[in-house]
Structure formats: structure tokens, C-alpha cells
Amino acid sequence: MASIHIGVGGWDYEPWRETFYPPKLAKAKQLEYVGAHLTATEVNATYYRSQKPETFARWAQTVPDGFRFALKASRFCTNRRVLGEAGESIARFCGQGLTELGDKLGPILWQLAPTKKYDPDDISAFLALLPTRQDGIALRHAIEVRHESFRSADFVAQARAAGVAIVFAHHDTYPEIADQTAGFVYARLQSTRAEEPTGYTSAELDGWAEVIRGWASGERPAGRAYASNVPASAEPREVFAFIISGAKERNPAAAMALIERTAR
């Protein structure tokens, strides 16, 4: 079984001061606390603005070995009519110093707008722009599509040829595409509920843990929505699973529950 990393989005969310963080924990200690209780986080701040190399280095020093940071790519790369024209923005994003995270750098998340429809030529041009290395460090990429038109075997084939993971999104309106197209899996579980102390019921958490362990073992979990009849190779895949959106105040509890279940 390959490594499994489970976390939430970021580490500074005010309601977590009542549901996750200990009372009176200093904000400067929040990332350290996340690192002690979760195994990954998806950074949203990089979507809105560039960070300094020393910021990435400080983040890396704050968390333990084995922790991973997934970085959401800049909106200037993905919120555009023609994705294939994003080369300059992509180079600027990848060159801002994110490699200071070292081996704690997880995948880069390229999140498309819900209104962006599937254009095979434009997607091909965009995927070709994603660099495989930066400053001598290998980069991994995941693309989150949020328009139904992407539920296509052709899109799956394009992503697989590029070695880019299609984000598995469990969401009320975004398409679920479970096809594995890279050497890792990137999942975003977005349906936690406030009435459940752990975001999901125990049975739901057991189900997601089974899916995650299946991915890590090289399986093609049954009961999920696939866009292609061509399965990926049956090989263990590193898994990055994030509890995002939904009832955000419950997400850390859901993540910790999944960490406990997938470690069994």
C-alpha cells in the first residue's frame, strides 16, 4: 500500500478555534497543531497571491516529516477563457519559491471554473504547459474540472497521457470522475454535515476509508463514477485526500477519523 495523506483546507479558520484547536492556542501555532494531528493540508492562499520563498521554507520547518502541502495554483493561471495561453502565469507560479517545501511539497491543484467547458485542444495545450520539474525538484499536477462536459473518455486519455491526476470530487453538483490518470490520487470530499460531529456518519467514514485504502493498494474502487472503460494500471498510488467545504467546522474531525481508519 502506498502512502496516504489526509487533511483539510489551510489551517486558519475561525470556527476551528471552537471545534479543533485547544482554547487560547496562538494563531502562530495553528500550523504546528495541524501538523501534529493531520498528515496534509491544501493551501488556498496560493490561489489568491504569490508567497515568498522564506514563507514556504517556514511552513516546511513547522510540520513533521511525512506531512504534505498541496498548493492551489494561482487564479491567473486557471480563470481564463483560453487555458493554453497561461504559460507565463504558470511559469511565474511555479517559480515563486514553492520548491523550498522540499519533500513536503505535494501536488499542485489546478482548479478550473465551474463555467469552463471541455475543449480538447485547449486542454491539450494547457496540460503541455505544466512543468515536470522546478529547481531540480519533480512536480506533480492535479486538475479539478467542474463542468459536466469533462465527463469524457477523451479527457481521461489526455490526462493519463500527460501524467496529470483528475481530481476525484465528491460534491453535490460537480462531476465525479474516478478514473486514475497519474501515479497518485487526489480526492476532495466536500459533503460534510454540521449535524454530524465527525462530518460524516461512522458508516460513511468506513466507506471512504475503504475507497482510500483501495486507491493506495492499486485497486479500482467499485461503485464510483468512471468516464472511461479503460482502467489504469493496477499499481499502488500515493493518495492525497482533503475534506473541503461542506460543514467546514467539522472537517478536521472528519480528517482525523479517516486517518485513524486508514491506518488500521
- Please tell me the pTM assigned to this model: 0.97
Mean pLDDT across the stretch 160-180? 96
- Helices 202-217, 251-262: axis angle to 10 degrees equals 50
Residues 6+ apart with CB under 8 A from 71: 42, 43, 46, 98, 105, 106, 108, 109
pLDDT, tens digit (0-9, with 9 covering 90-100), for 229-250: 999 999 999 999 999 999 999 9
Report the candidate in 110, 113, 109 with the shortest Cα–Cα distance to residue 80: 113
For the chain, how big is the Rg over CA atoms in Å? 18
User: Which pLDDT band holds residue 264 (cuts at 50, 70, 90)?
Assistant: confident
Mean pLDDT across the stretch 38-62? 97
Residue ranges per structural domain of the chain:
4-262
Give the pLDDT of residue 226. 97
Mean pLDDT across the stretch 14-22? 95
Give the pLDDT of residue 177. 97
User: Which pLDDT band holds residue 1 (cuts at 50, 70, 90)?
Assistant: confident
Distance of CA 111 to the CA centre of its chain: 10
pLDDT, tens digit (0-9, with 9 covering 90-100), for 178-188: 999 999 999 99
Give the pLDDT of residue 58. 98
**Run of H or E residues at 53:** helix 53-62
Architecture of the 4-262 domain = Alpha-Beta Barrel (3.20)
Helix H, strand E, coil C: the string for 64-119 is CCCCEEEEECCHHHHCCCCHHHCHHHHHHHHCCCHHHHHHHEEEEEEECCCCCCCC
Are residues 239 and 3 in contact, defined by beta-carbon separation less than 8 angstroms?
Answer: yes
Handedness of CA 182, 107, 120, 225 (dihedral sign): positive
How far apart, in whole angstroms, are the C-alpha atoms of residue 48 and residue 76?
Answer: 9
| Whether residue 73 has pLDDT greater than 90 | yes
Give the pLDDT of residue 235. 94
Share of the chain above pLDDT 70, in %: 100
pLDDT, tens digit (0-9, with 9 covering 90-100), for 105-126: 999 999 999 999 999 999 999 9
